[in-house]
Amino acid sequence: MTISILHISAGECGLSLPPQLRNDGEPWFVGKDVAVALGYESPRAAVSKKVDDEDRGVSKMETPSGKQEMIIINESGLYSLVLSSKLPQAKQFKHWITAEVLPTIRCHGAYVTTPTMKHITSRIRSLASLLVLHLSTCRGGLYGRPVGRQTESLHLFPTHNHV
């Protein structure tokens, strides 16, 4: 098993977490380090009580005192600790997740940041313009109409009337 160390930060909420480990492309964290960063008085007990068994594992890691077995937690375990923490930054993160991210996913099926949404919208507009241009050059225009009238007839989501 290869583990490389990376550093993460949860920017918007000002919550800094210890280095993460990557195992098979999935993030894993040293449970005790996360619990300490989140202000738990008994870090080992917090990991044991608040993180489900399937979200915990053990990994041998180099420490200043040699190789030791460490309890590691996956991303789901990380969120379990964060969402249970009383730390102000963790509460802010929890509020963002429960008040903005999850309701947006429920309503729209996805959560996308504003810059990404602007990029997607821009790409859709560009593709629509290319489609209009392409249709205007095919067979003398869309439905045989002059180019100036084509955009009025172009419906990206047409409706059908059934008789």
Query: What are 118-152's pLDDT values in tens digits?
Result: 888 889 998 988 888 877 777 665 555 555 554 55
Whether the pLDDT of residue 1 is over 50: the answer is no
Lookup result for tokens 């290319």: 130
pLDDT of 44 strictly over 90: yes
Res 50 pLDDT > 60: yes
Question: How many other β-carbons are positioned within 10 Å of the β-carbon of residue 66?
Answer: 6
Q: Which residue has the higher pLDDT, 2 or 63?
A: 63
DSSP bridge pairs for 69: 60
Higher-confidence residue of 74 and 18: namely 74
Least confident of 15-19, 58-62, 73-77, 156-160: 156-160
Q: Is 161 helix (H, G, I), strand (E, B) or coil?
A: coil
The mean per-residue pLDDT over the stretch 13-28 comes to 72
- Measured CA angle at 71 (ends 79, 36), to 5 deg: 60
Whole-number Å distance between alpha carbons of 21 and 5:
5
CA distance 23 to 46: 23
In angstroms, rounded to a whole number, what is the distance separating the alpha carbons of residues 68 and 61? Answer: 5
Would you say residue 100 has pLDDT above 80?
yes
More confident residue, 28 or 137: 28
- Of 25, 29, 18, the C-alpha closest to 2 is 25
Dist. CA 35–CA 41, nearest whole Å? 8
Residue (of 63, 69, 71, 18) closest to 44 by Cα position: 71
Average pLDDT, the chain: 79
DSSP 3-state assignment of 11?
Answer: helix
Global pTM reads: 0.64
- Look at residue 153 and tell me whether its pLDDT is greater than 60: no
Mean local confidence (pLDDT), 13-17: 64
